[in-house]
Amino acid sequence: MDRRNFLRVVGATGALVAISPSTISGRLYASTGLYESYERVQLIDAQGSPIKLTDLKKETNYVFNYPYVATPTILLDLEDTTAKDVRLKSEYGEEYIWKGGVGEGRTVVAYSAICSHQLAHPTPDDSFLQYVQKDKKTMACDHGGVMVCSSHLSSFEAKEGCKNISGPASEPLASIVLEIADDDTIYAVGVLGPDKFHEYFKAFKPEFKKYYEGRRKAKKKVKTSATMVELSQYTKEIIQY
């Protein structure tokens, strides 16, 4: 598959239907700090068809870029019901409440795949950051069911809002807020928690040039739809310890 083209599709801005940023989640999270709503974007597969909750394989890393053309998000169906209303804290003490997973069993979650420690993230070449299945152990964490960053061995509890639980990371991964439509299709609508977008755009200029034709394009907001694929299709090499 031609990744360059795939990435360009992700950033396509052909606004077929004008959809205003979500107001439902905006109200839902108004009471919580650290919430920002972005474009309401539908998740589609590589062929362009909308993805439904029922299409998701359990405990499989899916990646789409959101809220910006170059900011990767990992979406998971954890199989188990997530915790509810988890109180989380940024490194500098700002509090926010993670409401839990979506879908019937509250099992589906999405997180910004930029490590809160030193910004490791999946790229078309490699990925140090991904979800580790429940029955697996890594050097970073003595149990599975966690997001692990193998760059500096931090881990994050996936069913509790990706709270940092081991290694050098000192705050959670930001969450991507999802909405499910009546027909089970999936929309990303906003970002909750201490996102790292500002630092990220500052840090990886050469990379943006390589994958997105430069930083200016990398910083564009994703509109209307975002293509979601499995991590193994998104990246050449998954690195995990």
Partner 1 sequence: MNRREALKIGALSVAAAATMGTITGCNEGAKPASAPAAGKKLCKHKVVVIGGGFGGLTVAKELKKRDSTFDVLVIEKNDTFMSCPFSNTYLGKLEGVNLGTFVHDYAQPVEANGYGMLHAEVTSIDRAAKQIHTTKGVVEYEILVMSPGIGYDYKGQFPNWDDEKIKHVQRVAPGALIPGKEHIILERQLVDMDDGNVVITVPSDGKYRCPPAPFERASMIAAYMKKEGIEGKVIILNATNKVSKGAAFKESWKDLYGDRVEHIDFAKIQDVDPVSKTVTYHIADEMEDKGYKVKTLKYSVLNLIPNNISNPVIEMSGVETTTDSFKRVVMNGCSFQTKTDKDIYAVGDVIAHTVPPSGQTANWTGKQCALEIANRLHKKAFELPVKKSTIKVGNVCYSMVSDNPEEAIMVTHDFSFSEEKNIIVSAGNVPKSPSGKYRSSGTAKATRDWYGGIMRDLFS
Binding site residues, partner 1, CB under 8 A? 92, 117-120, 126, 128, 139-142, 150-153, 166-168, 170, 199, 202-203, 237, 239, 241
CA distances in angstroms from 115 to 16, 30, 181, 199, 201, listed in the order given: 33, 25, 29, 11, 13
Q: How far apart are CA 93 and CA 90, in angstroms?
A: 5
- Do the Cβ atoms of 62 and 233 come closer than 8 Å? no
Residue 60's φ and ψ, nearest 5 degrees, are -115, 135
Contact 170, 155 (CB under 8 A): no
Q: If you count them, how many residues does the chain have?
A: 241
CB of 166 to partner 1, least distance (A): 5
What is the CB-side half-sphere exposure of residue 216 using CA atoms within 13 A?
0
CB 113 within 8 A of CB 231: no
CB 195, min distance to partner 1, A: 16
Beta-sheet pairing, 225-227 with 35-44: parallel
Which of 80, 92, 94, 67 shows the shortest CA–CA distance to 175? 67
> 10 Å Cβ neighbour count for 60?
14
Closest to partner 1 by CB, 95 or 199: 199
Nearer to partner 1, 12 or 239 (CB): 239
Q: Shortest distance, CB of residue 139 to partner 1, whole angstroms?
A: 6
CB of 187 to partner 1, least distance (A): 32
- Residue 111 CB, shortest distance to partner 1, in Å, is 19
To partner 1, the closest distance from the beta carbon of 154 in angstroms equals: 8
